[in-house]
Amino acid sequence: MADASRVFPADEHRARVAALQEGMAADGLDALLLSTAADVFYVSGFLTRFWESPTRPWFVVVPASSAPIAVIPAIGETLMRRTWIADIRTWDAPDPVDDGVSLLVETLASVVPEQGRVGLPAGPETQVRMPLTDFRKLESGLAPRKFVDATGVVCRVREVKSEAEIDRIRATCAVADRAFARVPEIAAPGRSLADVFRGFQIALLEEGADWVSYLAGGAGPEGYSDVISPADNRPLATGNVMMLDTGAVRDGYFCDFDRNFAIGLPSDAASRAHAALHAATEAALSALRPGLQARDVHRLLVDGLRDNGALPCGGRLGHGLGLALTEWPSFTPKDETVLRAGMVLTLEPAAEVAPGRILVHEENLVLREHGAELLSARTPAELPVIGP
Amino acid sequence: MADASRVFPADEHRARVAALQEGMAADGLDALLLSTAADVFYVSGFLTRFWESPTRPWFVVVPASSAPIAVIPAIGETLMRRTWIADIRTWDAPDPVDDGVSLLVETLASVVPEQGRVGLPAGPETQVRMPLTDFRKLESGLAPRKFVDATGVVCRVREVKSEAEIDRIRATCAVADRAFARVPEIAAPGRSLADVFRGFQIALLEEGADWVSYLAGGAGPEGYSDVISPADNRPLATGNVMMLDTGAVRDGYFCDFDRNFAIGLPSDAASRAHAALHAATEAALSALRPGLQARDVHRLLVDGLRDNGALPCGGRLGHGLGLALTEWPSFTPKDETVLRAGMVLTLEPAAEVAPGRILVHEENLVLREHGAELLSARTPAELPVIGP
């Protein structure tokens, strides 16, 4: 878990805020209003699992040129005081009459002129984490100030990771690598997928995860039918391919990759599909360069699968990663984001093995000037086999 | 993990929808738009950890008198088809141009007349889980239809749990009870709180949790300074009081309670504070009845602490529980919610042991006509002692 030795130095956060403020200036924003776990952690270093409770909103305000201000429920004050944030304003939440709205109005009004603009992430892959009715009160309380979408400002800064962030993501990936190496001890023919899920989460914790925010997967003859289901109690059977996909967390940073395992010797179709996924990933890893667009990576993976005789499926074939399980950009045919050095990304091609049966493979990497540097240990081309 | 034998029968979901539709009729709503993990699971039975990814919005539309309609990313179709929902409409998400908005407009327009009203949870303790810009497009795309707050409709139905739900919450509480009983094997003087957190999460999984969505706690001389921090690497020391507070999940239902442990013999002040928390909880457990308001429970706990010589602290002293770690109502001085039989609640009094040092105690219960029925095993009045 996070402690003083692992928390980022204040300079890391100052550099992030400076980069945000540069983007704000370019977009003519007088303040930035942040409300999600990832954005608040990014600016402040405030790390807690308490976001799991939907009860209370939390805010960080980034003014145009001064230090960030935390506007938070009193229950978080002690923890926020351990971060670099000096200006911390609290209210007794939850308050059914005024749940921080007047305090937030007052705070924003003090840093945004009447004709000014408040930016907040309101575009693709964002949410404003507060009650809609309260957001409307905020808008009217701050009029004639305007709220505008600042997704671009936040996304362009968060997308490129610092070396300190890359180190943390690499450490989380290493936790998952060690846990995946133990799957042959955890899974066996006859064991239920639910038991494997529990055993794999235990392995992740034993290997150093602070917590396991995400685990999904599947198992079935030659492949699985979807990739977001929780486990069921059916026993693994010879001929199944099992997949585990995890978003473990260490020091607030996620990994997100999966591994496939054949239960007993795999069919030719499953072996070929896995080899094609591996080859398509290999081709994309070789071709990745700053300057490509996100949609180019989608195309690389689709072409790689077809070139290796596999039938591509799935919508998004990879994405950004770091403070959240999934971040911008998205490797889809429509995402025109230009890739830059320092982006941490996943490659996640999917192939159909038989009607309704798929295999998905995923690796994590950081994009360097010269190309991809893997953060997850490269999976072998051949499907690992478990059991007799 | 959820499987066919543990998923609710369709009749459970039909009864929930009928209750929602009754409330919608009373409030003059032509449809209800739901977008959060808890609300979507409540109506459909759709259970996945994929909500951890902020990328994609998910929707369930409840029309005034017909069956619910799922409007979801294609990646969720296979899993949604395993639920009782028959009308499932999908789009390829994420789509930076139209991320389900036009499909949602079309769906809502087909069930809401032009002069009609769409309700959505927009009040206390809610969020609309979609990009704000897309919500604005939805509003203008559906005009002159109006969006109105339906927090009351959803909250009044979700607050009162069915016996099937109570059984599930009881089962999750039992998992945590068994794990808490093992804490003396997990914690010891000299061991770091971070190691204890990992060990306790492992125990929760071994005892039957599907996953552990929440764990917080603290340790310090006579008490801890806050209750939402992740663990640090400092070793537990004799004279510390350690607290673990968990929201484990089984079959989609949460527990949320904590336990305190003295590391070595506790000080008189810590012992007295724990005894006062126990006595105040006991008094509230005896007094709880349908018909009380949420704020009355806050008063009962504060009075109980004072009567036992303790200094009350903290804002909210308990809350609803079930599909989420925390739900309505909130035991604060301002919450006027009337308690009803079938509500699953937590009692969570906090006392100051010394300046900046607190103890918090929490139990889970279901409110019956005759009073409280505990779902967590009652903690002893005396602080359990760990170590020599």
DSSP string of A191-212, one letter each residue: SBHHHHHHHHHHHHHHTT-SEE
| Cα distances (Å, whole numbers) of residue A53 to A36, A102, A149, B248, B326 | 12, 22, 26, 13, 5
Q: Residue A190: is it exposed, middle or buried by C-beta count within 10 angstroms (0-12/13-18/19+)?
A: exposed
- pLDDT of the residue at B314: 85
Please name the member of B127, B151, B211 whose beta carbon is closest to the beta carbon of A215: B211
The whole-angstrom separation of Cα A362 and Cα B19 is: 43
Provide CATH 3.40.350.10 ranges for chain B.
10-159
- Looking at beta carbons, which residues of chain B come within 8 Å of A210? 194, 197-198, 230-231
Domain A10-159, architecture per CATH: 3-Layer(aba) Sandwich (3.40)
Give the pair of three-digit tokens for residue A101: 């709205």
- Looking at beta carbons, which residues of chain A come within 8 Å of B77? 226
The whole-angstrom separation of Cα B103 and Cα B33 is: 13
Q: Do B330 and A3 touch (CB under 8 A)?
A: no
- pLDDT of the residue at A232: 87
Task: List the one residue out of B316, B317, B301, B312 whose CA is nearest residue B353.
Answer: B312
The whole-angstrom separation of Cα A344 and Cα A40 is: 19
The whole-angstrom separation of Cα A59 and Cα A53 is: 15
Number of residues that make up chain A: 388
Q: Mean pLDDT score of chain B, rounded to an integer?
A: 96
DSSP one-letter code for B64: S
Please enumerate in sequence order all residues whose Cβ is within 8 A of that of A140, keeping only pairs 6 or more positions apart, or say none.
none
Cα A121 to chain centroid distance, Å, stands at 16
Do the Cβ atoms of B58 and B76 come closer than 8 Å? yes
Provide CATH 3.90.230.10 ranges for chain A.
163-386
Residue A53 sits at the chain B interface (C-beta within 8 Å):
yes
Task: List the one residue out of B176, B182, B196, B197 whose CA is nearest residue B249.
Answer: B176
Low-confidence ranges of chain A (pLDDT < 50): 1-5
Give the pair of three-digit tokens for residue B96: 């930076």
The whole-angstrom separation of Cα B282 and Cα B353 is: 19
**Which letter, b or e, does each residue of B60-78 get, where b requires 16 or more Cβ atoms within 10 Å of its Cβ?**
bbbbbeeebbbbbbebbeb
- Looking at beta carbons, which residues of chain B come within 8 Å of A129? 127
- pLDDT of the residue at A5: 45
Tell me which chain B residue has its CA closest to the CA of residue A7. B232
Mutate to test the interface with B, among A78, A236, A331 (most CBs of B within 10 A): A78
The whole-angstrom separation of Cα B110 and Cα B130 is: 21
The whole-angstrom separation of Cα B313 and Cα B309 is: 13
- pLDDT of the residue at A201: 98
Q: Is B252 left (phi over 0), alpha (psi -120 to 50) or beta?
A: left
Chain B from 326 to 355: CB within 8 A of any A CB: 326, 330, 332, 334-335
Higher pLDDT, A3 or B72: B72
Please name the member of B75, B149, B230 whose beta carbon is closest to the beta carbon of A133: B149
* Secondary element (H or E) of residue A281: helix A268-287
Residue B315 sits at the chain A interface (C-beta within 8 Å):
yes
Do the Cβ atoms of A161 and A343 come closer than 8 Å? yes
- pLDDT of the residue at B6: 58
CATH of region A163-386, choose from 3.90.230.10, 1.20.1250.20, 3.40.50.150, 3.30.540.10:
3.90.230.10
B122-149, pLDDT tens digit by residue? Answer: 999 999 999 999 999 999 999 999 999 9
Residue B5 has pLDDT above 60, yes or no: no
Q: Do B211 and A212 touch (CB under 8 A)?
A: yes
A357-373, pLDDT tens digit by residue? Answer: 999 999 999 999 999 99
Residue B2 sits at the chain A interface (C-beta within 8 Å):
yes
Q: Do A1 and B232 touch (CB under 8 A)?
A: yes
- pLDDT of the residue at B387: 86
Q: Concatenate the DSSP letters of all residues of B185-231 into one string.
A: HH--TTSBHHHHHHHHHHHHHHTT-SEEEEEEEEEEETSBS-SSPPP
B25-64, pLDDT tens digit by residue? Answer: 999 999 999 999 999 999 999 999 999 999 999 999 999 9
Give the pair of three-digit tokens for residue A249: 């967390």
- pLDDT of the residue at A137: 98
Residue B202 sits at the chain A interface (C-beta within 8 Å):
yes
pTM: predicted TM-score of the whole model, two decimal places: 0.97
B163-210, pLDDT tens digit by residue? Answer: 999 999 999 999 999 999 999 999 999 999 999 999 999 999 999 999
The Cβ-side half-sphere exposure at A126, using a 13 Å CA radius, reads 26
Q: Concatenate the DSSP letters of all residues of A215-272 into one string.
A: EEEEEEETSBS-SSPPP-SPBP-TTEEEEEEEEEEETTEE--EEEEEEESSPPHHHHH
